[in-house]
A and B are shown apart, each in its own frame.
Chain A
C-alpha cells in the first residue's frame, strides 16, 4: 500500500492547509521534498508518525531546536483570543491506485482564561473503502498494524544523519534490538513468560506434599529471582554503555568538526589510530583462535607419534612384500575351505593336509580384505605427520605476527595517550573540557563493559543450574504419586517452554542470517568500489563487520560515505525482512556526507529500494544539481518547503 497524499493543517510550521501528492508511479517511485535546515522537513515526517501512531518520535535534540511543546502552529497560537479554538489536523490517504484508506487525526486547542493553549478535543479515525463506499473502521489498532506496526516503523521512517552512528557506537546492542524488533517475536516471548508463571504456581502447589520438593522448588524460585535481578542489571548496563558510546561519539564529532584545524587534525589522527588499533585487536583475537585450533588439532597426534610411525612402517612392509593387495584373495581361500573342494576338483576333509595348507595361506594373506583400508590409513597417517610439521611452523609464524601486532599496539597506545594529554592541555577551554569528559566516559565505559561481561557469565551459570534443578524437581515430582496430574502438567509446561525457546532462537537466527545476506546484497549493489569488499557479516553477538578483499575487518576504516551506504543497506534489509511493503521516508538521506562520496551515493541511490515508494526529505545543500540530475529519471513528484522567517511559517509548494 502506498501513500497517495498527505494533508497537513496548522501542524507546527505549517500554517493553514497544505497538501502533498506522493508519486504513485512504480517506475518513478521517488518523491523529493526539498527544504533548508529548520524549515520543517523533520516535522513533515513527525506529522505522518503522529497521524499513524499518535506520537511524533522526533529525536530530542531536533525537538529542542525547532519545536514548542504544542503542535499547533505558533503563529496561530499568537493570534488566538481567550476561548478561541483552532485545530491541528493530519490526513493520510493510502491505496494502491485508488484511495482505499483514509487515516485522519486531529487535535483541537483552546486558549484558556490564563492565556495558556490547552488541548480541548482529540480524534482519530480510519475510513476504509468497502463495497458501499468509505466506512469507519472499528479496530483502528489492527488496521495500523496491518499497514506498519509501530515496532518496525523506525526501519521505514528514519533520519539519514543518525544512521552513521548506528554502526559507529555500540553496534551490537543496536543491531540486536533491530533484529529482535523485526522478528516480531513478542507474542512468543509473552507466551513463555506466561507459561513460566503458571509453572511456578503449579510448583508452589506441590510444595505441601514433600519437604524435598519444597526445598528444591524454593531453591529454583530463589535462582529465578536472582536471574531476573541480574537481567535487569544487564539491561541497565546496556543502557549505560549505549549512552556512554553516544556521548563519546558526540564529543568526537565535536572535535572532528572543530574550527581550529589543529584540533580537527588531532582528532583525525586519533580516528586513524583507533581504527588501526581495532584492526590489530581483532587480528590478535583471530590469531589466538587460529593457534588454539592448530594446537588442539595436533596435540592428540603428538602423543602417539611413535605408533603412527610404526603403523606406517607396518603397512610399508606389507606393501613391499606385495601383500597389499595380496596374491590370493583370502575370501576365495575361505570359500575353498568351506566347500572342501579344490579348483582342480580334488576333494579334501577339514583336517586334511590340503585344508591346513589353505588355512596357512589365509593367515598369510589376512590383510587382503583390509588392503584398501590400510593404503588409505597410511596416506592419512602420513598426512597427519606432514601437516603437523607445517602447522607447527605456522604456529611459530602466527606468534611472530602477533608479537609484531602487540608491539605496534604499544606504540599506538602511547600515541593515543599523547593525543589525550595534548587535547586536555590545550588553551581552548571547551576542547580541554570535552577531552577530560571523554577520558572519564572511556573509564566508565570500560567498567560498565567489564560488569556486563560478569553479569552475562553469571546469568549463563544460573541458567545451567536452573535447568539442572528443573530436571531434579521433575524427578521428585514423578516419584510423588499424589501429584501425578500436576506433575504431568509441569512436565508439559517445561517441554513447551523448551520448544518455544528453541523456536524463538531459530526465528531470530534465521532473521539474522537473512538480514546479513540482504544487507550485503544492497551494499554490494550500491557501493562504488565493490571490488574492495568481500563480505558483510552479522555475527552471533550481533556485531556487524565488513570484510575487505584481504579478509580483514574494515568497518571502522570505511569512509563516512561508505558507512552511510552500509547503514542504508541495513535499513533496507530490515525493511524487507519485516515483510511490510509500506512506503519509506528518509530525512536527510545523505547525512553529513560531502564531496565525492556524496556524489557517489547520489549516483547509486536511485537503485535503492526499486519496488518501494520512497520519499526523500533533502536539504538544499544535499539536493545539488548533480544529485538532481542523477535521480531525475526516478522522481515522480517534487516539492519545495518555503520558510517565511518573519512569520515562522512554512508552505509546501509543488516544484517543477
Chain B
C-alpha cells in the first residue's frame, strides 16, 4: 500500500497570499478548526475540479505536506489528474501536482464563498446536508 504516496512530491503548493487565510481557517473556522492544510487543499481541489476552475499558481508556497495525506487523499489527487489526462498521468508526478495545485487554487475562492455564505443554519449542517443530498443522488 501507499505506493503512489511514495512517488508523490514532498509538498504541494498553494498561492502564497492564501497562506494566512489557511491558518485562519484552521484556528477559527467551524469546519476546519484543528484540521490540517491538507484537508482544506483537498476540499478546494475537488470543488475547483467540479466547477472546472483551473487557476495556475503565480506565487507558490509549499504548505501542504504529502505526509499529511492518507492513501485516500493521495488517490483523490490522482483521480483529479486522471480525470483530466487519463491513466497515463500516473507516470508524471509533476503533471499530477500541477493539476491538483491549479484546481485547488481555483477552487479555494469557491470554498471561501461557501464558507461565508449567509444561508441559514450552521456551516457544518449546510455541508452535511449537501453531502447527504448529493450522496443519495449519486
Contact = CB atoms under 8 A, between A and B. Distances in A.
B124 interface: yes
B43 A296 contact: yes
Interface in A240-267: none
A205 to B, nearest CB: 31
Given A300-B46, A380-B71, A374 B79 contact: no
B105 interface: no
A311 B84 CA distance: 11
Interface stretch (A144-152, A363-371, A520-528): A363-371
B87 A304 contact: no
Given A292-B31, A370-B87, A377-B75, A307 B82 contact: yes
A437 interface: no
A295 B83 contact: no
A167 to B, nearest CB: 26
Nearest to B50: A303
Contact of A303 (B27, B47, B132, B136): B47
Given A308-B79, A381-B75, A370 B131 contact: no
A226 interface: no
Interface in B34-72: 35, 39, 42-43, 45-47, 49-50, 71-72
Nearest to B132: A392
Contact of A370 (B73, B75, B79, B91): B91
Contacts of A288: 124
Interface stretch (A81-89, A382-390, A505-513): A382-390
Interface string A272-315: 00000000000000001001100110111111111110110011
11 contacts: A295-B31, A296-B39, A300-B46, A300-B73, A301-B72, A305-B138, A376-B3, A381-B79, A384-B75, A388-B135, A395-B131
Interface string B18-42: 0000000001001110010001001
Contacts, number: 110
Interface residues of B, number: 41
Judged by DSSP, the binding face of A is helix
A373 interface: yes
Contacts of A310: 83
Interface of B: 1, 3-4, 27, 30-32, 35, 39, 42-43, 45-47, 49-50, 71-73, 75-76, 78-80, 82-83, 86-88, 90-91, 124, 127-128, 130-132, 134-136, 138
A303 B45 CA distance: 9
A189 interface: no
Interface string A520-545: 00000000000000000000000000
Given A304-B50, A370-B87, A384-B76, A299 B82 contact: no
Given A295-B127, A392-B131, A377 B78 contact: yes
A253 B8 CA distance: 62
Contact of A373 (B32, B50, B90): B90
A396 interface: yes
Contacts of A389: 135
Interface of A: 288, 291-292, 295-296, 298-308, 310-311, 314-315, 318, 366-367, 369-370, 372-374, 376-377, 380-381, 383-384, 388-389, 392, 395-396, 460, 464
B87 A374 contact: yes
B134 A302 contact: yes
Given A295-B124, A307-B49, A376 B131 contact: no
B46 A301 contact: yes
Contacts of A392: 131-132, 135-136
Most B CB contacts (10 A, CB to CB) among A292, A367, A396 go to A292
Nearest to B90: A370
Given A296-B43, A299-B131, A392-B136, A376 B4 contact: yes
Given A376-B3, A384-B75, 19 more contacts: A292-B31, A296-B127, A298-B135, A299-B46, A299-B131, A300-B73, A303-B46, A304-B49, A307-B79, A311-B79, A311-B83, A314-B86, A315-B87, A318-B87, A370-B87, A376-B4, A384-B76, A395-B128, A395-B131
A396 B132 contact: yes
Nearest to B107: A303
Contacts of B79: 304, 307-308, 311, 381
B70 to A, nearest CB: 9
A306 B88 CA distance: 19
Contact of B4 (A377, A384, A395): A377
Contacts of A299: 43, 46, 127, 130-131
B48 to A, nearest CB: 9
